[in-house]
Amino acid sequence: MRHSSHGLRIALLAGASVVALAAAAPNADAADLSRPILKAPPVSAARDTWTWWIEGGAFRSDGDGVGAPAFKPNWGGEGAAGFDWQPTTSMHVIGQFRYGTASRTSPLQFTAISGPTTVHFSGPQDLREDHWLVDFGIGRDFGLGTVQGVWTLGVRVADLRSELNVNATVLSTAGGAPVGGANALSQQRSTFVGAGPRLGVQGGIPLGGQWSIDWLAGAAVLFGERNVTLTSAGVTTPITGTTSDTTAIFNVDAQAGLSYWFSPTMKITASYRYDEYFRALKTLTTSPVFGPTGPIITASNIDRSFSGPMLRLTSKF
């Protein structure tokens, strides 16, 4: 009986231990689940984040002028819209469309010598210039200290147009005495349309709180056609002609600004933008000394750059 009682006590103790372990198991699991699980993050976990932005502002055109005397457009307006799609944490698909236009009216003052006759041209000359571009590229994230950025490789398509209209009064004199007068109309249209590869980089620098600095820069080589057409009427020797060439031009752009984050997904940015196209437009210049058959006209290639303040609204979802 003593042996049976000792075995019974062991059986009871073993059974109590099993019950206690079974009761403690859920608590142990909960304690384990409360601890962080340490493991390496996936290299390219799916993210599928979209960022959209719209931008507007003013710009001034710089480079060589057109007309006589040569001049450039006044300040104009520019607008843009773009996106940044992140299908994974480190991959970006970006795109933008941008359009700007500017114009100016300037008085024409031009004097030419044609043999014994001096010809005076005067009147208004109206200049309008338009430009647009489309960017599309693929990029990846990079980090350098506190700087977080994206490098991109893609393509840029650009279209630059300039139109000069002149409504001139023509007065001819010989030996200081008037010998005739007329009205002359002329139009000069210059275009460049091209596309090519673009390498870009963009990023941000946190300043603390809700402020940061945003910046971007890029360079492209655009392959396309420069063309200029001149037509005139109302003068003794009307002028009509076209000249063009196929070329590659160099394009650089940069932008930097200060951003304020309203929330983790929305910000506003005030920035300054610069966009340069080297030798992109072709223009015609008339010599002040006419030849035996009329005006001597020379074609040349001119730069165009667009720069000015911009305001951008960005939303991420």
Residue from 96, 66, 238 nearest 163 by CA? 66
Q: Cα–Cα distance between 58 and 100 in angstroms, integer?
A: 9
Phi, psi of 21 (to 5 degrees): -65, -40
Q: Cα–Cα distance between 219 and 217 in angstroms, integer?
A: 7
Per-residue pLDDT of the chain (317 residues; tens, 9 = 90+): 444 444 434 333 334 333 333 333 334 333 333 333 333 334 344 468 999 999 999 999 999 999 888 999 999 999 999 999 999 888 999 999 999 999 999 999 888 887 788 888 899 999 999 999 999 999 999 988 777 899 999 999 999 999 999 998 888 888 777 777 778 888 999 999 999 999 999 999 999 899 999 999 999 999 999 999 999 876 656 677 889 999 999 999 999 999 999 999 999 999 999 999 999 999 988 887 877 777 788 889 999 999 999 999 999 98
Q: How far is CA 289 from CA 193, 222, 292, in A?
A: 33, 37, 10
Q: How many CB atoms lie within 10 A of CB 133?
A: 23
